């Protein structure tokens, strides 16, 4: 099936959720015909035009909430200290209300399948929007834990989780500097008998460490594990995509 044409959406509002997380609401007439039910799915933001032999600059973001007239995207702010922010964060921080942007997608969410005995969820701030959507959708009786890496203690968010679910926040001011941080905590939580489902999305090296543990050491097969890298330290989204493809092929 042909990919739908990207739509033009308007920046309607900007909210600083926590020190390192900014929420943008995109909406306007371009929302006409936007398919329902894509919270947790993703869109592709076009941040620069392509040209002769040059691809457009595209960045991927999760739909944190979907409304009749708009979508909310939460941007983890990076690059404020040593390096420059990428084009996505730059746009998130500096675009004016009323500016427009071309938006491709939406693509499907990766939810937690119901009926498992235990859920183990791990991710950094780029995955927090998807994790929030997934945890909100859990049955009230669901059990498990989420380990979430944030840049500052104040980046914690109030997540709606069932009583039998624990959320552990791990602070690392330098994202990408400690690929084993999430894994160490997950190991510490231990393993239980029964059907476990693992959901992991983070920086490339962190995702690989978590995936090795859950797949190789704990034996979770494809039907019990979602593992995806959302970005790669030192690489922009385009070169990250190349590493991701090589990893998938391997």
Applying CB under 6 A, the residues found at the interface with ligand FAD are: 42, 59-62, 74-76, 78-79, 83, 85-89, 126, 129, 175-176, 230-237
Q: How far is the CB of 90 from ligand FAD (least distance, A)?
A: 7
Q: Which is nearer to ligand FAD, 84 or 97 (CB)?
A: 84
**Is residue 232 within 8 Å of 239, Cβ to Cβ?**
yes
What's the token pair of residue 243? 């590493």
- SS3 state of residue 111: coil
Q: What is the largest CA-CA distance in the chain?
A: 56
Least distance to ligand FAD from the beta carbon of 118, Å? 24
Closer by beta carbon to ligand FAD, 12 or else 233 = 233
Cβ 211 to ligand FAD shortest distance, Å: 15
CA trace torsion 20, 64, 230, 58 (10° rounding): -100
Residue burial 108-128, b: 16+ Cβ < 10 Å; e: rest: ebbbbeeebebbbbbbbbbbb
Min dist. Cβ of residue 117 to ligand FAD (A): 27
Nearer to ligand FAD, 156 or 218 (CB): 156
How much helix, strand and coil, in percent to the nearest 5, is found in the chain?
A: 25, 35, 40
Tell me whether residue 79 or residue 113 sits nearer to ligand FAD (CB atom): 79
Tell me the closest approach of the beta carbon of residue 84 to ligand FAD, in angstroms.
7
In sequence order, what DSSP letters do the residues of 69-110 get, joined into one string? TEEEEEEEP--SSSSPP-HHHHHHHHPPTT-EEEEEEEE---
Structure tokens, 156: 């914690």
Select 62 or 134, whichever has its Cβ closest to ligand FAD.
62
Q: Closer CB to ligand FAD, residue 91 or residue 119?
A: 91
CB of 87 to ligand FAD, least distance (A): 4
Residue nearest ligand FAD by beta-carbon distance = 86
């Amino acid at each position: 099936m042909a990919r739908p044409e990207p739509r033009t959406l308007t920046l309607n509002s900007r909210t600083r959720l926590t020190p390192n997380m900014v929420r943008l609401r995109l909406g306007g007439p371009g929302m006409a015909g936007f398919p329902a039910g894509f919270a947790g799915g993703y869109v592709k933001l076009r941040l620069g035009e392509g040209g002769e032999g040059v691809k457009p600059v595209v960045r991927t973001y999760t739909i944190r909430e979907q409304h009749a007239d708009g979508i909310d995207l939460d941007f983890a702010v990076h690059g404020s200290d040593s390096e420059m922010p990428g084009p996505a964060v730059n746009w998130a921080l500096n675009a004016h209300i009323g500016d427009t942007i071309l938006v491709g997608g939406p693509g499907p969410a990766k939810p937690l399948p119901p009926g498992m005995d235990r859920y183990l969820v791990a991710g950094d701030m780029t995955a927090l929007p998807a994790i929030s959507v997934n945890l909100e959708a859990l049955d009230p009786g669901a059990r498990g834990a989420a380990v979430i890496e944030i840049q500052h203690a104040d980046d914690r968010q109030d997540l709606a989780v069932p009583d039998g679910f624990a959320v552990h926040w791990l602070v690392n001011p330098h994202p990408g500097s400690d690929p084993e941080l999430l894994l160490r905590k997950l190991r510490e939580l231990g393993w239980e008998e029964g059907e476990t489902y693992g959901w992991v999305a983070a920086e490339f090296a962190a995702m690989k460490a978590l995936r090795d543990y859950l797949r190789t050491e704990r034996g979770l097969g494809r039907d019990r594990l979602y593992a995806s890298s959302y970005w790669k330290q030192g690489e922009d989204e385009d070169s990250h995509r190349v590493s991701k493809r090589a990893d998938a092929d391997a």
